[in-house]
Structure 1
């Protein structure tokens, strides 16, 4: 891309996707009323480790992040068409997945006999009161965590939804506020690594669950109830959406890397060979004793993951209905495995009706129109999701 082909109202941003299995970064252009364009992207797998938890996993993630940032700095801007004249980067937007982030949704309610004007200060008072109550009762947010994002996701005045609740009169008001938290030792180290190679005016953090929810709501505006199932390297995260509100996020420790550990344990297969066996299993196109052993491992893994999936969802379905629509995000080589697990499972105890889940895999085909990609760049559905979110964030 030539500098002369870039629109005058375009803005250059950096985006990062940080999970527990890999780290990616991209240079994107955003402009009002236009889809974002991905000029350059680079993904680095977090090195597989038998017990990649806690400080060890953090160290491995930061190493992969450094590789991504160096790639952007050393070749990214040139590949993107900027040459030696680097653009001004106003913002680096970082998407964090579990275990680097934890989220919650709070419902703020106001009821009066007489209508009163709903102002920003009224909302702030409700929020402060809610935080006092939830912070004293919250056990899921680790001690020492700091808030990285806060978003008003839904407003109701006298029972009617509105996108602009302030400066209006109402006797009843209800606000749904989504908040995410992370540990300073995580966000500060991420910011330091980015700053060591690239100057960005600010670095902002968001949860992958919120950004996926936001993008999927844009794509499916008529779908108000669904579950986002994100299978990453070490964990699976479920985001429950009810009446167009992201009401809860839940995680359990089983991701792509757990499959690798099981294959290594029961077949002695090296981690470097798993992508090939994933493909053979999905296509049912393998032969020999090793493949037959691997098939048994996959069936055992699907059963274990299904049990954790059912147990996690059942905790939610006890309190309210369970949406039947599932959006699945996962690496391409394992997405069909987890989709098949959900399709063939017996979830009758979780559902009000005997219907099964409807599953939509969030891949490049689904997200095709959400972002443009420069020639030579390999499409990445996670980068597309984040790019679409970043564009709306900057331009509305």
Structure 2
């Protein structure tokens, strides 16, 4: 990972013409982090005042409980112990009412939705050391892609308080569920875009590069009708496999939370239509109490291009666009 990261940094420095960098945002996707939303409830018979010290005590307790959970039972060596990557107060309620500035207010019931993500200490250290070789900045802002996307969707689609988000990357598909403006849960399965390429390599006995090229031609509708039918038959098994993984994940969500009717997804533009077609064959109503039709929306380059400026169209990437929108909340780019 470090070698690939530093090779990318070299290219970034060349492309940026040695632009001055004052802040660095590092957004990690699966499987580099583990996350959980902790729902904290604190209640007293008599009203109490919300203080920063009291909130920090509750939050730190939840962070330690998460760190000590079975999720990290295999982290036996000191360099792989989990470190806090981010902790975000997604939502806070006093006596059942959401508030943005709780300090100094009195209440008898406090509810906090706290999103926590952690990263192995050795990975955290390696990333920071690699960054330091190229840029001299202060603290690096780390975030998970699931929270980054949740926060971005919530800011853009202010009327959508409950939604499902599907992040389809090269090797992994992450699914996150938000309900009433709270990111409740995320599920991953180890199948993504590269599954299609591997299927073509196996079935046509070709190289990965040739398979990727053939896939692009097929998905762009540039091959003959007979060849398109052949490609469709080859990829039919992959379609079924990915769809079954998706349905299993939806069933896990539905055991606790019904699936909301709005579904966002992000995938590379060249395969977005293929995955959307696979999703169109899923009966989402099986996992929901919604009677109306489901809305599937692509967060692709065409839509996200409204919110970011790209120096070269060929550089546009939906995942980077989401991360840029998120980072822009905290800082302005400095040349």
- Common fold, TM-score beyond 0.5? yes
User: For 1:151-203, what per-residue CA distance to the aligned partner results, in whole angstroms no more than 9, with x for missing partners?
Assistant: 11111111111111122111111111111111122222222222222222222
Once the two structures are superposed, the pairs formed by residues 364-375 of structure 1 within 5 Å of their partners are: 364-374=301-311
Q: How does 1:107-126 map to 2 (within 5 A)?
A: 107-126=39-58
Task: Find the counterpart in structure 1 of residue 71 from structure 2.
Answer: 139
Matched positions, count = 327
State whether structure 2 residue 175 is matched by structure 1 residue 243.
no
Check whether the contact 1:226–1:240 (CA below 8 A) recurs between aligned residues.
yes
SS in 2 for 1:394: coil
> 1:253: how far off?
0.4
3-state secondary structure, aligned to 1:95: strand
1:117, 1:168 within 8 Å by CA — same for their partners in 2? yes
Aligned partner of 1:67 in structure 2 is: 7
Matched with 1:12 is none
Of residues 211, 214, 223, the one that matches 1:277 is 214
3-state SS of 1:320 partner: coil
**1:306 corresponding residue in structure 2:** 243
Shifted more, 198-207 versus 92-101: the winner is 198-207
In structure 1, C-alpha distance between the alignment counterparts of 2:312 and 2:246, rounded to whole Å: 39
Q: 1 CA distance for matches of 2:83 and 2:121?
A: 7
* Cα distance, 1:350 vs structure 2: 1.3
**Which whole-Å deviations, capped at 9, do the CAs of 1:82-104 have from their partners, x for residues lacking one?**
6xxx52x3321101000112211
Residues 71-90 of structure 1 aligned to structure 2 (within 5 Å): 71-73=11-13, 75-78=14-17, 86-87=19-20, 89-90=21-22
Partners in 1 of 2:261 and 2:214 — Cα distance? 31
The structure-2 alpha-carbon separation of the partners of 1:181 and 1:134, relative to structure 1 and needing over 3 Å to count, comes to closer
Corresponding residue of 1:25: none
> Per-residue displacement from partner, 1:267-313 (whole Å, max 9, x unpaired)?
22321133443344435553377654431222211110010111112
Q: Please, what TM-score do these two structures have when normalized by structure 1?
A: 0.76
TM-score normalised by L of structure 2? 0.89
Instruction: Describe the SS at the equivalent of 2:22.
Output: strand
Shift of 1:335: 1.2
Counterpart of 1:184 (choices 121, 128, 133) is 121
User: Any conservation in 1 of the 2:201–2:211 contact (CA below 8 Å)?
Assistant: no
| Structure 1: tracts of 5 or more residues without a match | 1-60
Once residues 42 and 277 of structure 2 are traced to their aligned partners in structure 1, the CA distance between those partners, rounded to angstroms, is 45
2:161 is equivalent to residue 224 of structure 1? yes
Q: Which residue of 2 aligns with 1:128?
A: 60
* Structure 1 residue 320 corresponds to structure 2 residue 257: yes
Q: Which runs of 5+ in 2 are unaligned?
A: 76-80
Q: Is the 8 A contact 2:259 2:284 kept in 1?
A: no
Rounded to whole Å, the distance in 1 between the matches of 2:244 and 2:105 is: 48
- Cα 1:186–1:131, aligned 2, differ >3 Å: closer, same or farther? closer
1:131 and 1:180, CA in 2 relative to 1: closer, same or farther beyond 3 A?
A: closer
SS of 2:115's equivalent in the other structure is strand
Task: Name the structure 2 match of 1:352.
Answer: 289
Aligned residue for 1:195? 132
- Which of 101, 107, 122 is matched with 2:33 structurally? 101
**Cα pair 2:37 2:115 within 8 Å, conserved:** yes
Alpha-carbon offset, residue 217 of structure 1: 0.8
Change (3 A) 1:288 1:63: farther
Cα contact 1:141–1:181 (8 A) shared by 2: no
User: Structure 1 pair 377/303, CA: closer, same or farther in 2 (3 Å)?
Assistant: closer
Partner of residue 144, structure 2: 207
Q: Which has the higher helix share?
A: 2
Give the conservation status (yes or no) of the 8 Å contact 1:153–1:245. Answer: yes
Distance 1:97 1:259, change over 3 A: same
Report the secondary structure of 1:272's partner residue: helix
Structure with more relative contact order (C-alpha pairs < 8 Å, separation 6 or more): 1
Give the 3 Å change call, closer, same or farther, for CA 107–370 of structure 1 in structure 2: same
